[in-house]
Amino acid sequence: MMTGRTPATALGAAALLLVAACGRASDQSAAPAAAVIDTLPHGIVRVTSQEPTGWRDSTAAWRMIETGRFGGGDGPGELINPGSIGVDGAGRVYVVDTKPSVIKVYDTAGAFVRTIGREGAGPGEFRAAFMAVRGDRIIVHDPQQSRTSVFDTTGKFLTSWKSSCCYWDDVGIDRDGRVYIPTMGPPDTIGPSRGLAFTRFDLTGALIDTLFVPNRAAQVKTWNFSSKGKDGKIMSRFSTLVPYTPVAVQAFHPDGGFVTGWSAEYTLIRSPHGGDTSRVFRRAWTPDQTPETFREARVKEMVTNAKGMVGEASARAVIRIEDIPTKAPAFTAIKVDQAGYLWARRLVGSDSTRTTFDIFDPAGAWLGGLSVPVDVPEYGGHLITATDFYVASTDADGRPVVLRFGIKR
């Protein structure tokens, strides 16, 4: 099995940051503190931040400056419903669009270049598309047709292979060209579940292995619905997570494997192989109060989504505001950018105009909070590179557009 690792250069840079923070603390009482690093059994490194180690307030934080827009306006480059976003080695931007399904390509200035693929079931076609781009290769996973395809950045279809159906989630490619596809595996028959499965392939479609990200499914709270026919018999059943309840989250790491966490506590784990631990990131945390307006809005949204399937009365009987926690989770989603920094999305401090993240450096020290001046989806519809933040949004006229913000570190 090939393993991922955190680059020594990134760890060295992070160590310098921590040392510098210690030096500043002696000179400036208001300077950021240093993280505490210790070693647990089996060589696991734990990094604990009682306070921000990079900046204490927004005046010292990174800057997010809009530097580009993609897909606005009429014509072939118009976006209808943007999803996955990718950027190649030359800086061209790739956006999965739907109605019909296609990949739209833009140059660095935002000008439309071409489309790649099209909706269908033939070679180089797809009906649902989850995309990742690395260098000059584009991976498109279609869970609706259980197929993964590879294109080059000119749009040429190269190959495809049978992969996994039904799991609609992000895909990834690490620095070694290993492709990560979420997989609906058979349930374990003995012992506890091994967790969420990701099958890894090389860029030719050859199977490498399967990694499992542990979850805590037994602790997840759901609302369960059923619909009945005229004869009173159950026709269908479905369930949905209760908003803001603790969940397991994971993010692909560019060096291979994942970062994982459980949102009821502020502990994040660097896992090169899915079920192992090489490094632990922690920060001091006291749960925020979930705003009542957030809870009310989610009830309204969930009723709207469910009533078309089970009727409004049945939906309201299941969806109850008292089930939604009054204490906010530590984070609602996580992402690792191409420079190895971890972005943990916060609930409180995020709204329709901004999204707030906690930023951790590659070594695991909590740098501080950072707001992106737009509503960022929890899953899909955004990409963070080493220098830029791309996110699907809308322009002043309400048209879908992908925004690019330069990250001034």
110-119 confidence digits (pLDDT tens): 999 999 999 9
Does this model's pTM top 0.85? My answer is: yes
Measured between alpha carbons, how far is 138 from 290 in angstroms, rounded to an integer? 39
Please, which pLDDT band fits residue 275 given cuts at 50, 70 and 90?
A: confident
User: Who contacts 216 (Cβ-Cβ below 8 Å, separation ≥6)?
Assistant: 246, 248, 262
Q: Looking at residue 31, what is its pLDDT?
A: 67
Which candidate, 346, 360, 248, 241, places its Cα nearest to that of 288? Answer: 346
- Give 106's strand partners: 93, 112
Contact 129, 100 (CB under 8 A): no
CA pair distance 204, 160, nearest whole angstrom: 8
pLDDT at 149 over 50: yes
Q: Does domain 62-213+380-409 have CATH number 2.120.10.30?
A: yes
Q: What is the mean pLDDT of residues 111-136?
A: 97
pLDDT for 172-209, tens place per residue? 999 999 999 999 866 555 666 788 899 999 999 999 99
Which class for 39: exposed (0-12), middle (13-18), buried (19 or more C-beta within 10 A)?
exposed
Question: In the chain, where are the structural domains located?
Answer: 62-213+380-409
Q: How far is CA 92 from CA 68, 70, 109, 135, 138, in A?
A: 12, 10, 9, 11, 12
- DSSP state for residue 233 in the 8-state scheme: -
The band of 346, judged by pLDDT with boundaries at 50, 70 and 90, is: very high
- How many residues are present in the chain? 409
pLDDT in tens, 61-100: 899 999 999 998 889 999 999 999 999 999 999 999 998 9
Residues 6+ apart with CB under 8 A from 96: 82, 83, 84, 85, 102, 103, 129, 130, 131, 140
Assigned token pair, 219: 């602790």
For residues 311-330, give the mean pLDDT: 95
Distance, CA of 76 to CA of 332 (rounded, Å): 35
Query: Mind listing the pLDDT tens digit for each residue in 216-272?
Result: 766 788 999 988 777 777 777 888 999 999 999 999 999 999 999 999 999 999 999
